[in-house]
Amino acid sequence: PLGHDYATISLSDRLKPWDVIAARLRAAADADLVLALYNPGSRSRTHQVAAARDLLLELRSPDTPVVVARDVGGPEQSVRVLTLKTLDPSEVDMRTLLLIGSSQTRAVERGDGRTITWTPRRYG
Whether the pLDDT of residue 29 is over 90: the answer is: yes
CB neighbour class for 48 (10 Å; exposed up to 12, middle 13-18, buried from 19): buried
pLDDT digits (tens, 9 = 90+) for 83-122: 999 999 999 999 999 999 999 999 999 888 889 999 988 8
pLDDT digits (tens, 9 = 90+) for 45-70: 879 999 999 999 999 999 999 999 99
Q: What is the pLDDT of residue 113?
A: 83
Strands 34-38 and 6-10, sheet pairing: parallel
pTM: 0.92
Q: Is 26 left (phi over 0), alpha (psi -120 to 50) or beta?
A: alpha
Residue 91 CB partners (closer than 8 Å, separation 6+): 68
- Residue 124: CB atoms within 10 Å: 4
The CATH class that applies to domain 6-118 reads alpha beta
Q: What is the pLDDT of residue 123?
A: 77
